[in-house]
Structure 1
């Protein structure tokens, strides 16, 4: 492998191939549902072909071989020589897994591990037309690489052919035409020899010999009769071709003798027609269609130069091939995007965060000033800072599809393993959220989707007996609501039985019988997030150990999010997640406990009111308050967070902040309410890391340091 290759080229390959492989996983599952979709077949073929081309340029032979075998399968499928079956898709998906594994090794600068030979052999078996076996078609094997290489080049409607791919094309043609005769062998040898002396450029003679091998001498004639085409070795040319060739040479953007990538693509299209195989020659064109015009191509224009004169290709050093690039780029559309390192975006976001803190400080100072010009300047700064903050946040946004794209494969494999029939429906895939959240949500959502498939959807026979269709449906959706994202995972399965959950809670020792009987249905549903809790009676390789859902709840809480469960027996279950758009800047409610400032994440705050503490009640040894006929547990968080004030007398009146975690709501007693403020989360110092109930720290508008409260962690540790 060429790890010493240009780092920029390697990075381009990693980015492009990574996007293609992510898309392939979704496309392959979609193909199984729509096996006759020719556009999808072509897209998958091009995906494997593009990855193979990039891997070949970097000399990743193991990756090339696996992609080539998979590519051959889809060449057979799109030519309707074989039909898509579940067994075939199992093999192709296994090949994709191997390609992904090799791709990860390349990303880590490791030599890729070749795919098992048994897998390659199975792919090659499926690459043959239906009913044939490798033994039945021994004669097809030698010519296959040449056919594949030419067909792949002809099929591509866009993209560039690399020097490596062109060399492989020449080698494949030489192998495929090896038995055609001594003269053909000599021609192929001359091409190989010329290619080895100057591997980057192709001379006029080499290109003419290539055309002769493809179609036979004199067959590439366009509208001119074959008898009028002179021998390319003689350096002549029909007069009818010269004017058009000269015009095309001017249009190509330069006087260079080099053939550009676009010219080569157009030549292949004219030789075979867009999307056709090499078998479709110019003589097969229908009468209503005009024959291809070789004179309109760049290579034909090159014929006007005497073949005996030295070309620029032979006079220039190897990098001369790049000289053709500006001509190609000048005709293409201007670049509309730029690739930026995510660390640079993080640095910019951090600087914007600091600017927000300065803005808050100036706003506090401006409110104390009577200077109208100061007020105007601070207001303008506030507007500009807010717009800049939104713009920078937008650059960090990624569509949730980056996460959703993996689920068709997850559901497909799990359904086949469990012998279930499941249809996955996705909505809102273009919803944007912070890239850090996209990465953080991947594992929790995988747990929830697997849980819906395993626990939620019943077996097909059970669904039929219940009057449902045999195929169950799992719906995954995302939408933006203000500065939050709402995610939901719904299934139309059997739902959850609150009574069964109560019994399990008592068996696991989570609650005693009396406490379990007092649980509401929603509280029973939230029991699935308790550590070690599972409704499965038998442990399998999919679930049953009670590990996973508690991790989901913890992870969502770390993202300052909430999880809510709804279920109806016999109808299905819906799990809804609410997370902030970004983790960098958080809207909070600033409070005072004694002389210390604290920040409560606004996402947890439900309501605020003033309370006469003499009206509180005690239930089961815990202080409670009743608001609008609802009972809320009451916690004096000052006793937890400001220990020095433990022995002070309690005031008769206090402010109470009702906070929510999922379906649970409690009241926090605070000394003073400061107001709403956007804060930038700063990590705690080494001495304070791991402090229960603390999510981080920030600097307030008056310049003081405030600790940010992690509500779930605070209650779990103290309450």
Structure 2
């Protein structure tokens, strides 16, 4: 590997190849569902081809070899010489896993580990046609060029393979020594004739331009019309006007970029003119056709329609070039720093709003109102720069579901909605593991085996639906399956067996509370432990992680119909809307996402259930906690007031009541980490500065209840 390669070039490769590899994972799973989709086959072929090209430039031989073998398989598939089968897809997906592993090693500036020899051999075996006459479809030698029909097909694909490119170079070398060489049905006029020949091993500019003619301008492999008189005037790599012989020795940067785009399939290929429906032939050959064209050349031009339109081909690449200049790659740390500064600005705004409310100066009120508007807009704009589509998480699930369903011998279709929903990049990364657990759980526990589904009158293939949508300043994620659903009685029995509840308490559990038992540590309905599930760890991890993100998770299930899991998380973790409360003379902030409702309560009308103080509101029972006793020093021995404010908060799927002394109101706060002496304090998520300049601790509801409740 060229470890000393230019850092900018390496970063470009990592960005481009990373996006391609992410897309390849989805495309390969999609291909298994639509094996005859030629556009998909071509896209996958181009994906491996592009990654191979970038890796070759950086001398990453292990990556090149694996991509090359995979590319050969798809070359055979797209030419319909082999069919897509599950076994073939297993091998290709294993190759993609190896490519991804090597890509991560390159990202870490390590030498990539070559793919196993058995995998390369398996790919090479699949790169041969299914028919017995394998030699008939091997890469053609220079003496056996593709027919004009093949040329037209190649033009439609927009790419040439490495073997075809090598053949062109070989043909060019032979032309230098022989003067002329038959290619297909015509004679190619050699650069040696038009430019006076060359004895050097290197090719001249004229020879390079003649090669470009063969590649894209004059029918690719079918040869070029006679151009001995002024070969330079026929070549226009930029898609603009003809070049005079005086400036043909140099090509501009734009022309070189367009050439690269054509070679790698990013710009329009030779078929662009045909696709756009432009029947007009290239201007250069028509302007120089003094004698009537030879019969063979005319015949070849008639056969290769797509390749006879070189002028329109580079134009889209030139038009698309300015679009790349409108984006800038920025280090995420810089975005985080900007976000922190916006957070400080929010705190200053809150302080000024508090001071402005105490002032009677009208100009002061207007200035504070303007500052509020600008700060809110700036906060939203900076937040937008940190946003990423949740597709970055969703993109891995087609592969997860496919592999798991195959290992469990189930048939499962994955449906995804709302992939373009944006949320904070930190949340995108943090949600990946919980969602993987939940999707795997739906496939393993939810969807039944095909035979069982048939007996129940369902289609053999189950469906798992993954969706995301924005609701205010939160994101709703749902994982829905049409499987067997959950049996509350089985869950009650398991809870008693595990010692989580006694029989009486278990019998009093509602169905919804039974469903939420699956989040308990060590709880599993599986009798046998497998490599997929059964240890009762995954769902506990999910609940903990969602709680850390200030999110909520809820389950609905109907036996025989399926299960729905709904997750609600905030759009961002940087700036948090909170409810400010007072306990004694100290301020605390409750995350607003946890707050369900607030009411005034007569504390003399509470009840004791299972040894805990509870209140009944609208026929619902809520446990009641005096958090002042936990959080304020010396408050435990104080007499309790007869009336107080109660805030109902949601912790995951449970709801409890917190008794507070005073409600201040809603306020947006910036979370500041606790100092070293206070780190790890139970029930505290961090601290913030309030509008009146005081420091308030931010309450972590799940942690608070787990430690004290």
Q: Distance in 2 between matches of 1:504 and 1:217?
A: 71
More off after superposition, 552-561 vs 72-81: 72-81
Query: How far, CA to CA, are the matches of 1:15 and 1:716 in structure 2?
Result: 43
Q: Which residue does 1:708 correspond to in 2?
A: 698
Counterpart among 200, 205, 222 of residue 203 in structure 1: 205
CA gap of 1:127–1:590, structure 2 versus 1, over 3 A, is same
How many Å separate the matches in 1 of 2:477 and 2:32?
27
The equivalent residue for 1:375 is: 365
Does structure 2 retain, via aligned residues, the 8 Å contact 1:263–1:298?
Answer: no
1:292 aligns with 2:292: no
1:429 pairs, out of 407, 419, 423, with 419
Q: What is the CA-CA distance between 1:220 and the residue it aligns to?
A: 2.8
Q: Secondary structure at the match of 1:462?
A: helix
**Normalising by the residue count of structure 1, what TM-score does the alignment of the two structures yield?**
0.84
Residue 550 (structure 2) aligns with: 560
Name the CA shift for 1:132/1:179 in 2 (closer, same or farther; >3 Å). farther
Residues 217 and 141 (structure 1), Cα distance of their counterparts in 2 relative to 1, 3 Å cut = closer
**Contact 2:102 2:113 survives alignment (8 Å):** yes
How far apart are 1:656 and its partner, in Å? Answer: 0.8
1:341 aligns with 2:334: no
CA contact (8 A) 1:495 1:571 kept: yes
Residue among 427, 438, 449 paired with 1:448? 438
Match of 2:11 in 1: 11
Hey, what does 2:285 align to over in structure 1? none
Q: Paired residue for 2:186?
A: none
Would the aligned equivalents of 1:67 and 1:99 in 2 still touch at CA under 8 Å?
A: yes
| Contact 2:191/2:206 (<8 A) preserved | no
Q: How far did residue 647 of structure 1 move?
A: 1.1
- SS of equivalent to 1:269: coil
Shift of 1:132: 3.9
Runs of 4+ in 1 over 6 A off after TM superposition: 141-147, 150-153, 175-182, 184-189, 193-198, 209-219, 243-249, 270-275
Q: CA deviation at 1:517?
A: 1.0
Counterpart of 2:488 (choices 498, 501, 509) is 498
Residue 258 (structure 1) aligned with residue 250 (structure 2): yes
**TM-score for both structures, normalised by structure 2:** 0.85
Partner of 1:305: none
Deviations 1:12-42 (A, max 9, x none): 1101100110000000000110111111111
Cα gap change, 1:248 to 1:67, in 2 (>3 Å): closer
What SS does the aligned partner of 1:673 have? strand
Q: How does 1:127-526 map to 2 (within 5 A)?
A: 127-132=127-132, 136=135, 140=139, 157=158, 171=166, 173=168, 183=178, 203-208=205-210, 220-222=223-225, 229=226, 236-237=229-230, 250=241, 255=247, 257-259=249-251, 260-261=255-256, 262=258, 265=262, 269=270, 283-286=299-302, 292=308, 332-333=322-323, 335-526=325-516
Unaligned runs of 5+ in 2: 182-189, 277-295
**Shift of residue 203, structure 1, vs aligned partner:** 1.6
Whole-Å separation in 2 of the counterparts to 1:712 and 1:414:
33
1:684 matched to 2:674? The reply is yes
2: distance between equivalents of 1:195 and 1:710?
A: 79
- CA drift at 1:528: 0.4
* Aligned twin of 1:39: 39
Could you tell me how far 1:620 is from its partner in structure 2? Answer: 2.1
The secondary structure found in structure 2 opposite 1:644 is coil
The residue aligned with 1:670 is 660
CA distance in 2, matches of 1:152, 1:590: 68
CA RMSD of aligned residues (A): 4.0
Question: Contact between 1:174 and 1:188, CA under 8 Å: does it hold in 2?
Answer: no
Task: Please state if 1:117 is matched with 2:92.
Answer: no
Measured against aligned partners, the alpha-carbon deviations of 1:432-481 in whole angstroms (never above 9, x if no partner) come to 11110000000000000000000000000000111111010000011111
Partner of 1:549: 539
Distance 1:116 1:615, change over 3 A: same
Q: Secondary structure at the match of 2:20?
A: helix
Distance in 2 between the 1:407 and 1:595 partners? 50
Quote the residue 2:26 is aligned against. Answer: 26
Using the alignment, how far apart are the partners of 1:102 and 1:579 within structure 2?
A: 34
SS in structure 2 opposite 1:567? strand
Give the drift of 1:94.
0.7
Shift of residue 175, structure 1, vs aligned partner: 6.4
Distance 1:532 1:12, change over 3 A: same
Matched, 1:694 2:667: no
Kept after mapping to 1: 8 A contact 2:62/2:115: yes
The offset of 1:513, in angstroms, is 1.1
Secondary structure of 1:83 counterpart: coil
Mark the CA change 1:130 to 1:616 in structure 2 (over 3 Å): closer, same or farther. same
Distance in 2, matches of 1:144 and 1:118, equals: 33
Q: In structure 2, the residue corresponding to 1:715 is in which secondary structure?
A: helix
The 2-side partners of 1:522 and 1:531 are apart by 18
Q: CA deviation at 1:393?
A: 0.7
The superposition leaves residues 155-188 of structure 1 with CA deviations (integer Å, 9 ceiling, x where unpaired) of 6649xx9xxx99x976565568999998499999
2:282 is aligned to none
Counterparts of 1:446 and 1:700 in 2: how far apart (Å)?
38
- Within the alignment, does 1:600 sit opposite 2:590 as a pair? yes
Q: Contact 1:145 / 1:172 at 8 angstroms: preserved in 2?
A: no
Indicate if the aligned counterparts of 2:556 and 2:565 stay in contact, CA closer than 8 A: yes
- 1:408-437 CA-to-partner distances (Å, cap 9, x unmatched) read 000000000000000101111111111100
Cα distance, 1:257 vs structure 2 = 2.5
Deviation at 1:269, TM superposition (A): 2.0
Counterpart of 1:72 in structure 2 is 72
Could you tell which deviates more after superposition, 423-432 or 254-263? 254-263
Q: For the Cα contact (< 8 Å) 2:239–2:312, is it kept in 1?
A: yes
Q: Deviations over 1:581-611 (max 9, x none)?
A: 0000111000011111100011111111111
CA contact (8 A) 1:157 1:274 kept: no
- 8 Å CA contact retained: 1:563, 1:577: yes
- Give SS of 2:634's match: helix
Secondary structure of 2:308's aligned partner: coil
- In the alignment, the residues of structure 2 paired with residue 336 and residue 601 of structure 1 have an alpha-carbon distance, to the nearest angstrom, of 38
Q: Which moved more, 1:123-132 or 1:72-81?
A: 123-132
Relative to structure 1, the CA distance from residue 460 to residue 270 in structure 2 (aligned partners, 3 Å threshold; closer, same or farther) is closer
Q: Which residue is equivalent to 1:52?
A: 52
Distance 1:397 1:438 in 2: 9
Give the Å deviation of 1:255: 3.6
CA contact (8 A) 2:236 2:242 kept: no
Q: Distance in 1 between matches of 2:142 and 2:43?
A: 24
SS of the residue aligned with 2:682? coil
Partner of 2:102: 102
2: CA distance, partners of 1:246 / 1:557 = 58
Alignment correspondent of 2:291 = none
Identify the residue that residue 564 of structure 2 maps to in structure 1: 574
Range moving further from structure 2, 645-654 or 257-266: 257-266
How far 1:72 moved relative to its partner? Answer: 1.2
Q: Distance in 2 between matches of 1:143 and 1:548?
A: 59
Change (3 A) 1:297 1:638: closer
1:205-224 deviation digits (Å, cap 9, x = unpaired): 344378789999996334xx
> C-alpha displacement at 1:142, in angstroms?
6.9
Q: Deviations over 1:283-313 (max 9, x none)?
A: 445479598267x5999xxxxxxxxxxxxxx
Q: Quick check: 283-292 or 496-505, which moved more?
A: 283-292
Distance 1:56 1:245, change over 3 A: closer
Change (3 A) 1:367 1:131: same
**Quick one: distance in 2 between partners of 1:403 and 1:195?**
57
Structure 1 CA distance for aligned equivalents of residues 369 and 703 of structure 2: 37
Q: CA separation of 1:598/1:185 partners in 2, compared to 1, >3 Å: closer, same or farther? A: farther
The Cα shift of 1:495 comes to 0.5
Q: Which residue of 1 aligns with 2:524?
A: 534
Question: Is the 1:271–1:282 contact (alpha carbons within 8 Å) kept by the matching residues of 2?
Answer: no
- Give me the whole-angstrom Cα distance separating, in 1, the residues matched to 2:69 and 2:144: 11
Contact 2:172-2:211 within 8 A present in 1 as well: no
Mark the CA change 1:183 to 1:488 in structure 2 (over 3 Å): closer, same or farther: same
For 1:493 and 1:459, locate their aligned partners in 2 and report how far apart those are by CA, in whole Å: 9
